[in-house]
Amino acid sequence: NLSFKLDRAFKTLKGTGTITEINVASTVKEIRRALIDADVNYKVAKDVTDRIKEEALGRDVLIAVSPGQLLVKITQEELTKLMGGAKEDINLKGDPAVVLISGLQGSGKTTFSGKLAAFLKKQGRQVLLVGCDIYRPAAIEQLKTLGGQIGVEVYAEPENKDAVTIAKNAIAHAKKTGKKTVIIDTAGRLAVDDKMMDEISVLKSTVNPSETLFVVDSMTGQDAVNTAKTFDERLDFDGVVLTKLDGDSRGGAAISIRHVVNKPIKFISTGEKMENLDIFYPDRMAQRILGMGDVISLVEKAQQSFDEDEAKRINAKIRKNQFNFDDFLSQLEQIKKMGNIKDLLGMIPGMGKAMRGLDIDDDSFKPIEAIIKSMTPGERENPDIIDGSRRKRLAAGSGRSIQEVNNLMKQFGDMKKMMKQMNNMGGAKKALGALG
């Protein structure tokens, strides 16, 4: 019946001052969609948004910022946490320190090797680049060209087809020439295969690198995650380099990879030039993913649909037992602005099923609105003066039956009683908590 509907609807809108299931659920759904659009794996996106929801529900908006801003902030915090929180440096222990570069063909290994060499050189380290791609003569040439550009020596043995021997010789050469860092660029295949994995595993156990990096093309989306998983199982690498973040890539791969292999991302590559290398900062990436996923505008949109000042004003009136028909009308407007009533009510935990059988829609409010709009300002302000003759006038004025007017008056009276009880219990907030 209508009394039941109103009761529920009222419970729904009372939550507008705090973050409730209702105002969180739809926003969280939008955030999840945005993350998936940004290439975050579905399961990961679901995990993150579930956590965001949990976090958000625990916070009080009245003492914080607006619900929308708070949600964005929480989302950014969660994404940052998910990507490891703080930046992680590469480990350059050893004399020389050996950095092994792994990854599929075309992922950007050779380019990154050059960039890393330039980056370390700038920090004053003596670097030796080593070409261990024994399958493609062009790869050695590519590395030599890069070395020439950045002024770093490149060690290669074009006739030698044994990567392990080349690497050993290179390390000996580095010791002899006083190079403190050796960066080994390796061969990759177009897809993961056992032979490639065997080769790089043997190389790793022979040269004992202080840092093994896995280079992955961020444009490859879900494949990037699977490749990372396979490489990590065989190689147990120390860190990830995400390349080609200058393209359409939205960076979601960073979250998925971190989540799946639990290894830190250490560098990002944003172009073909040697200076296009950045240290990976989780908070900046979170911002990028949020920005590109348009989450902020989505959240703002969701927020516009409920007016927080109004919610505070009404909460205050409820606390002082001054809630009147004007406030009631304003609350109905707010509910309607938030979208489909049935959907909203369905978001209350446990209510979804109960709601399915009811015929609640925006039209359910029409008779009520008509009656309230027929009231004089004095009647709305002070409903106690609405006696029998006034009720007859309201029915005639609104085109509703006297029965409907009486029902509304009764419901309004019940609602006020309920509010009074809640106030006596220690405020609306306590009751809200009990509802959740």
- Please state the residue numbers annotated as binding site: 103-110, 185-189, 243-246
Which residues define the annotated binding site for GTP? 103-110, 185-189, 243-246
Question: What minimum distance in Å lies between the beta carbon of 344 and ligand GDP?
Answer: 45
Is 108 a residue that touches ligand GDP (CB under 6 A)? Answer: yes
Q: Where are the beta strands (DSSP E) in 33-142?
A: 97-103, 127-132
Question: What minimum distance in Å lies between the beta carbon of 102 and ligand GDP?
Answer: 9
Q: Which residues of 374-398 are buried (b: 16+ CB within 10 A; e: fewer)?
A: bbeeebbeebeebeeebbebbbeeb
Question: What minimum distance in Å lies between the beta carbon of 270 and ligand GDP?
Answer: 6
Is 94 a residue that touches ligand GDP (CB under 6 A)? Answer: no
Q: Give the β-pairing of 265-269 and 277-279.
A: antiparallel
What's at 168, amino acid-wise? K
Is 67 a residue that touches ligand GDP (CB under 6 A)? Answer: no
Q: How far is CA 267 from CA 78, 215, 270, 383, in A?
A: 20, 9, 10, 67
Single residue of 5, 109, 250, 266 touching ligand GDP by CB under 6 A? 109
Sketch the per residue contact string, 147 through 186, with ligand GDP: x for CB under 6 A, - otherwise.
----------------------------------------
Residue 271 interacts with, from Mg ion, ligand GDP, none (CB under 5-8 Å by kind)? ligand GDP
Return d(Cα 192, Cα 230) in angstroms, integer.
8
DSSP-derived 3-state class of residue 386: coil
Query: 3-class secondary structure for 354-383?
Result: HHHCCCCCHHHHHHHHHHHHCCCHHHHHCH
Question: What minimum distance in Å lies between the beta carbon of 349 and Mg ion?
Answer: 53
Sign of the Cα torsion 421, 425, 428, 434 reads: negative
Question: What minimum distance in Å lies between the beta carbon of 225 and ligand GDP?
Answer: 18
Residue 14 interacts with, from ligand GDP, Mg ion, none (CB under 5-8 Å by kind)? none
Of the two residues 276 and 322, which places its CB atom closer to ligand GDP in the complex? Answer: 276
Structure tokens given for 103 = 């990854």
What is the per-residue DSSP string for 144-198?
Answer: HHHHHHHT-EEE--TT---HHHHHHHHHHHHHHHT-SEEEEEE---SS--HHHHH
Sketch the per residue contact string, 31 through 50, with ligand GDP: x for CB under 6 A, - otherwise.
--------------------
Query: Whose CB is nearest to Mg ion?
Result: 110
Return d(Cα 188, Cα 161) in angstroms, integer.
15
Single residue of 15, 84, 147, 188 touching ligand GDP by CB under 6 A? 188
Which residues are CB-contacts of 225 (< 8 A; sequence separation ≥ 6)? 41, 253, 256, 257, 260
Sketch the per residue contact string, 215 through 244, with ligand GDP: x for CB under 6 A, - otherwise.
----------------------------xx
Angle 85-120-252 from CA coordinates, rounded to 5°:
35
Question: What minimum distance in Å lies between the beta carbon of 117 and ligand GDP?
Answer: 13
Return d(Cα 128, Cα 96) in angstroms, integer.
10
Residue 272 interacts with, from ligand GDP, Mg ion, none (CB under 5-8 Å by kind)? ligand GDP
Kindly identify the residues of this chain, within the stretch 249-308, that bind ligand GDP according to CB under 6 A.
269-272, 276
Residue 266 interacts with, from Mg ion, ligand GDP, none (CB under 5-8 Å by kind)? none
Q: Which residues bind Mg ion (CB under 5 A)?
A: 109-110, 139
What's at 347, amino acid-wise? M
Which residues are CB-contacts of 14 (< 8 A; sequence separation ≥ 6)? 315, 318, 428, 432
Return d(Cα 114, Cα 104) in angstroms, integer.
17
Of the two residues 84 and 103, which places its CB atom closer to ligand GDP in the complex? Answer: 103
Structure tokens given for 243 = 């390349």
Of the two residues 103 and 293, which places its CB atom closer to Mg ion in the complex? Answer: 103
Of the two residues 129 and 332, which places its CB atom closer to Mg ion in the complex? Answer: 129
Question: What minimum distance in Å lies between the beta carbon of 244 and Mg ion?
Answer: 14
Candidate segments 78-86, 104-112, 149-157, 194-202, binder of ligand GDP by CB under 6 A: 104-112
- Among residues 338, 268, 272, 346, which one has the least CA distance to residue 306? 338
Question: What minimum distance in Å lies between the beta carbon of 94 and Mg ion?
Answer: 24
Q: Interface with ligand GDP by CB under 6 A: which residues?
A: 103, 105-111, 188, 243-244, 246-247, 269-272, 276
